[in-house]
Amino acid sequence: MKNVRLYNGVEVPVLGIGTFMISPEDTEISVFSALKAGYRMIDTANAYMNEEAVGKALKKAIDEGIVRREDVFVSTKIWATLYNKESAVDDTLARLGLDYVDLLFIHQPSGDFISGYKLIEKAFKDGKTRSLGISNFHGEKLERLLAAAEIKPHVIQLEAHPYCTEKAIMDRLAEFGTKLMGWYPLGHGDAGLLNEPVFTRLADKYHKSAAQVILRWHTQMDFITIPGSKNPDHIRDNSDIFDFDLTDEEMAEIAKLDGTKKYYNADNATEEKYAEMHLPFEK
């Protein structure tokens, strides 16, 4: 498995298992399947309501001798309505059953996100996370966060796929060495993306699926990518992408798709929307 090195020297597997929109029951099964299949990175969040399931799957894999805790990279996200809660990080760790996580994000550019970032900066200094991240930030709110951040984010999580590489944001963050972790890596299951002629042709050439070609593109872009699945066969197939390389010419052809489509509009994710979304475990 290829790794991406963060600017503080922490190594992140370039491919992980995502758990967005997966129930706790299915999360436990899919994460355990992924760990058995060789995955060593798991992404979750307070708002996914499946942190406990991630923790159970990881504990089971450790107990069965499949992995060691130090070999698995775990990332999670603090939800916006918890940014001012002093115990939010400890509560998150308790749900995961862990003493620390490897990457801790603030999840949305809403609410008091500056206090939220200070919260995770403190967690970093206290050894409760090995790296820091921000999710879905852009524009003026990104600039406000960067101005306030004592420790610049090691990772930003954004929608990323061949239609959308967020080049402008990543160019802005280049001076800090911030890396991109992409969600919706397969275009949220968009058949149009999977059936793009460039991907069907390359799938035939390399004897892979279009999804595998796209995931290989992510890794060659040096993106950290987190496809999610409940299907053990798909989980295994998604990791079977390191036995071929796309050529520079093929990467350039795929680059022509950039900027043509996004599935999520951050400008529609208003502060009011997130202020109203309280999680069941909030006090």
CA distance 79 to 75: 13
CB 41 within 8 A of CB 12: yes
**Alpha carbon distance 280, 8 (integer Å):** 35
Count of H-run helices and E-run strands, the chain: 12, 10
Q: Where are the beta strands (DSSP E) in the chain?
A: 3-5, 11-13, 17-18, 41-43, 73-78, 103-106, 132-135, 155-159, 179-183, 224-225
Identified catalytic residue from 48, 83, 117, 274: 48
Establish whether 206 is a catalytic residue: no
**Measured distance CA(123)–CA(89) in Å, rounded:** 7
Fill in the amino acid letter for 47. Answer: A
Q: What residues are labeled active site? A: 48
